[in-house]
Amino acid sequence: MWVTSIDSMDKDSQDVHQLLNELRTKFVETHKMIKTMQGINLSPEQQQQQLQHLREQVKTKNKLLQKYKSLCMFEIPKE
């Protein structure tokens, strides 16, 4: 009976060790992914400034697109 208990504990220990290794691998992979994210090296304030700048660019481009559409310079193919 005592031997069975020790064997069971040993198996549990091996399972825990394997799970910990898998978790460690996932942490390493996640850490690598985070390091490659664009803007991760910027402060929150810099990220907000960049976001605002990009939003302004989208607004400007949308205005230009609407302007060009209203000029009717593009031929729309008829089906």
Q: Determine the Cα–Cα distance for residues 17 and 55; give it in Å rounded to an integer.
A: 48
- Mean pLDDT on 13-42: 92
Can you say whether residue 77 is alpha, beta or left, with left for phi > 0 and alpha for psi between -120 and 50 degrees? beta
- What is the rounded average pLDDT for all residues in the chain? 85
- Mean pLDDT on 55-72: 91
Residue 52 has pLDDT above 90, yes or no: yes
Between residues 18 and 12, the one the model is more confident about: 18
Q: 1-15, 26-40, 41-55: lowest mean pLDDT where?
A: 1-15
Exposure on the CB side of residue 14, measured as CA atoms within 13 A: 6
55 alpha-carbon distance from chain centroid: 20
